[in-house]
Amino acid sequence: MNEYSGTPAGAGRRFALIVSRFNSLVTERLLVGARECLLQHGVDDDGIDVYSVPGAWELPQAAARVVGLGRHDGVIALGCVIRGDTAHFEYVAGEASRGLGEVARSSPLPVTFGVLTTDSVEQALERAGSEAGNKGWEAAISALEMADLFEALE
């Protein structure tokens, strides 16, 4: 039996962090978590590119363009959509998820999902750096492992 998996080895690798500015109280914490993860796993600070977009809706289109640059070993999308009183949440959260999934499936490099979809600001903050962890960190560790796996599959 042959088994393949990636390790979170970041030395010599370059990653793109695409972060939504909407709900910045939350997304800035996701960005800090993702960046700390990459640095702790050997990615040089110069190997981290941060691309800022207005909101979660814009994450898929930015991810597609960044993948096309050919500069990175992985793309980490970070955002936060908080449910309100209208159907806007479903449209934005659904399309951000669907769009990033489409980019990930068609990309030659890993695209990871660090987009929170919550019912409240409190839930979002809980997932962006409390005892429950930091979903930005989790998206970054996934990108590290997947970049290593993709390299092993070449």
Positive or negative, the CA dihedral 138, 77, 10, 2 is positive
Strand boundaries in the chain, DSSP class E: 15-20, 48-53, 74-82, 111-118, 128-130, 133-134
Other beta carbons less than 10 A from residue 121's beta carbon: 13
What 8-state DSSP symbol labels residue 51?
A: E
Tell me how far the alpha carbon of residue 48 is from its chain's centroid: 12
Which one is catalytic: 21, 65, 71, 88?
Answer: 88
Cβ(35)–Cβ(3) under 8 Å? no
Tell me how far the alpha carbon of residue 86 is from its chain's centroid: 26
Q: Is 72 a known active-site residue? A: no
What is the Cα–Cα distance from 113 to 97, expressed in whole angstroms?
Answer: 8
Catalytic residues, by residue number, are 88
